[in-house]
């Protein structure tokens, strides 16, 4: 697996929205300005807008708040949350670890390198711009319990957002949430079977007890 330590350290420094010169960044990270520029390009490849202003250095358009696994975990009372800055797919992460999961476990990422939507479509997942979340759930009733699941999840999410003040949020069949005619969220439910067992994932879908993980 590729080491993303330097780009992630850079984004944590730039997260304050202030300008940081290449020289300052080089001193902090122990490398040349040319090397810093190379890692800045990696951030741009991830979909991060990094401004370069001669004489001032590098800056983000505005400050960003990076995901904090400890703080998120303190706010939930069911399931475990794993926060990974860079991942291929939150859904795939859960699919690869089904035997280690319990219902309610979730994976959240800042950036997906291979996010996917319905029918295998690529899901563009720029760093820090959206919430990439997959949750695992075991469906004791089997595949029948997954019928209409993405729509139900969408309705619940829309209702919560409306309660928080986003009154114009609506659900677009079968798996999208829109706000002011712009797509706000997509939901993918995936199922997978293994050794006579059925498993599911919410950016994934799954009567033999079924394990489910939903991705948003």
- Can you give the pLDDT at residue 200? 39
Confidence band, pLDDT 50/70/90 cuts, at residue 203: very low
45-49, 105-109, 180-184, 208-212: least confident range: 208-212
Residue 58 has pLDDT above 90, yes or no: yes
Indicate the domain borders of the chain: 5-59, 69-215
- Can you give the pLDDT at residue 121? 72
Average pLDDT over residues 172-196: 80
Give helix 33-45 / helix 22-29 axis angle, nearest 10°: 100
Residue 132 has pLDDT above 80, yes or no: yes
The answer, as to whether pTM is greater than 0.75, is yes
Query: Does the N-terminal peptide bond of residue 171 adopt cis geometry, omega within 30 degrees of 0?
Result: no
The secondary structure element, H or E, covering residue 153 is helix 149-163
Confidence band, pLDDT 50/70/90 cuts, at residue 192: confident
- Can you give the pLDDT at residue 214? 60
Quote the DSSP letter at residue 143.
G
Strands 210-215 and 197-202: parallel
- Can you give the pLDDT at residue 149? 86
Q: Which CATH class is domain 5-59?
A: mainly alpha
The secondary structure element, H or E, covering residue 206 is none
In this structure, CATH architecture of domain 69-215: 2-Layer Sandwich (3.30)
DSSP SS3 for 3: coil
Confidence band, pLDDT 50/70/90 cuts, at residue 205: very low
Strands 51-53 and 57-59: antiparallel
């Amino acid at each position: 697996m590729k080491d993303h330590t330097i780009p992630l350290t850079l984004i944590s420094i730039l997260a304050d929205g202030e300008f940081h010169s290449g020289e300052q960044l080089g001193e902090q990270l122990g490398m040349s300005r040319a090397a810093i520029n190379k890692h800045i390009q990696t951030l741009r490849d991830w979909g991060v807008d990094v401004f370069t202003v001669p004489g001032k250095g590098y800056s983000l358009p505005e400050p960003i708040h990076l995901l904090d696994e400890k703080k998120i975990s303190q706010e939930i009372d069911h399931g475990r949350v794993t926060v990974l800055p860079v991942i291929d797919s939150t859904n795939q992460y859960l699919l690869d670890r089904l035997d280690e999961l319990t219902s309610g476990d979730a994976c959240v990422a800042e950036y997906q390198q291979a996010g996917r939507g319905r029918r295998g479509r690529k899901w563009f997942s720029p760093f820090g711009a959206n919430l990439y979340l997959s949750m695992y759930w075991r469906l004791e009733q089997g595949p029948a319990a997954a019928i209409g699941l993405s729509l139900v999840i969408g309705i619940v999410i829309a209702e919560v957002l409306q309660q928080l003040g986003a009154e114009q949020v609506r659900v677009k069949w079968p798996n999208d949430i829109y706000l002011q005619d712009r797509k706000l969220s997509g939901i993918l439910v995936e199922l997978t079977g293994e050794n006579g067992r059925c498993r599911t994932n919410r950016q994934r879908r799954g009567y033999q007890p079924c394990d489910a993980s939903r991705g948003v």
